[in-house]
Amino acid sequence: MKRTLVDAGPLIALFDKDDQYHIKTVEFLRGYRGRFVTTWPVITETTHMLDFSASAQIDFFKWVEQEGVHIFQLERSHLDRLIYLWEKYSDLPMDLADATLLITAELTGIRTIVSIDRDFNIYRIGKNLQFRNIFIQFN
């Protein structure tokens, strides 16, 4: 089964009907076949941005619980890599959710991502591999 990383932007849009990317996200998901992978910082960022509605947050948690997304577990041993990436991309600046998705990509070999964040065009997996953002490519 195809696996794709997912960032907070499309997750927020999916559960916020007023988000400018809501319709595009819903349409994208209708045609997507595979499994989404994310991290706890992405989950945290999503719920924080949905804090305008406890109902939206609960709907999001239920979707996660029903395996709408697999949560990749990062370990303390990954902190060295996180610090390295934070320093490397400090001029953007990189946030925790992005850094954990980059580390997840390196550990799992997943190179595709669903994100509204154009910083994933700049980030490199390992030495020089690029992400393929299938959400930006989706029309």
Give per-residue pLDDT as tens, 26-65. Answer: 999 999 999 999 999 999 999 999 999 999 999 999 999 9
Nearest in space to 10 (alpha carbons), one of 139, 134, 119, 115: 115
Percent share of the chain, pLDDT over 90: 91
Helix (H, G, I), strand (E, B) or coil at 5: strand
How far is it, in rounded angstroms, from Cα 111 to Cα 123?
A: 11
Give the model's pLDDT for residue 32: 94
Rounded Cα–Cα distance for residues 8 and 44 (Å): 9
Q: What is the CATH number of domain 3-137?
A: 3.40.50.1010
pTM recorded for the entire structure: 0.94
Q: Give yes or no for residue 116 having a pLDDT over 90.
A: yes
Pairing outcome for strands 124-125 and 3-6: unpaired
